[in-house]
Amino acid sequence: MNASRFIACGMYAPNDDIKNAWQALFDQFYALVGPISGLQQRLVFGTDESLLRDPGLLIGHTCGYPLMTGLQDAVMPFCAPCFEVPGAIGKLYSSLFIVPADSSLESLQQCCGGIVAINDANSNSGMNVLRYALAKLKAGPGYFSDVLMTGGHLASLEAVAANRAQLAAIDCVSYQLLTARNPGLDHAIRVIGFSEPTCGLPLVVARAQYSRQQCNSYLEALNQALRQTADEVKQTLYLDRFESAELDDYRSILALENYAVEAGYATLN
């Protein structure tokens, strides 16, 4: 095995404390699998698609929406981390629909005509599940007065907290990680609901390197590494375990998209 291969883990790594916790976990993972495979320790904190297409990728972490809409030629999922946060059940997770704390908004219907903040148009948690929820309410083009593309869940939280946007959908794990370290944000926003649950952000391997036997060994090593890390690491990440996940687990993400398209609400606006 190529000793220069790396792990890309940037989806839930917004600050140094959390990055250090992931580093400790993957240090333990490398200690378990490295002596057998000849792997050297290399962890990259990034979310760019180019990392997932890099021939040196060992394990990557991505969002389920780009996995299903543009990455299937490059990677295959093999497991999903399970977090102990409100909105997550096993390997399923939801988004929190948030509004400014001092607003009178209590429902998605009441957000009509306001500004919506979206972390990324290619996000399941920030766009796709919200689009689906609005399509179920028979929303149509022009439901919002404007769409604010923020570039990340933290920026979306800050936009709603400052009342620059009246609504955003925030991945429940990101919400917990971010508000736990920014209590002012938690006090400045209010949760008015949860999205449809979908399978959590997958850990993936290169499609060309995919082997169910190898992936099962990675899954076993990840859970063993988690059991052997300090409780502080688990608590920092709110991480309980890793569960096996396959491509079929993410097809519901496309079902949400298809529902919105067929309902005439293909673009969240």
Query: Of 134, 126, 176, which is closest to residue 151 (Cα–Cα)?
Result: 126
Give the three-class secondary structure for 70: helix
CATH 3.40.190.10 occupies which residues in the chain?
Answer: 6-83+200-249, 89-198+255-262
pLDDT of residue 38: 60
CATH number (3.10.560.10, 3.40.190.10, 3.40.140.10, 3.40.50.800) of 89-198+255-262 reads 3.40.190.10
Cβ-contact 198, 64 below 8 angstroms: yes
DSSP β-bridge partners for residue 59: 7
Question: Residue 44 and residue 19: Cα distance in Å, rounded?
Answer: 10
User: So what's the pLDDT on residue 152?
Assistant: 97
Instruction: Give the residue ranges of DSSP H helices in the chain.
Output: 16-37, 49-52, 64-70, 129-136, 153-161, 172-181, 183-188, 212-228, 231-237, 251-262
User: Which homologous superfamily does the CATH classification assign to the domain defined by 6-83+200-249?
Assistant: Periplasmic binding protein-like II (3.40.190.10)
| pLDDT of res. 2 | 47
Q: pLDDT tens-digit profile of 152-210?
A: 999 999 999 999 999 999 999 999 999 999 889 999 999 999 999 999 999 999 999 89
Kindly report the pTM of this predicted structure: 0.95
Low-confidence ranges of the chain (pLDDT < 50): 1-2
Could you write out the DSSP letters of every residue in 135-152? HHTT--TT-SSEEEE-SS
- Among residues 118, 171, 170, 126, the alpha carbon closest in space to that of 149 is found at 118
Report whether 222 contacts 30 (CB < 8 A): no
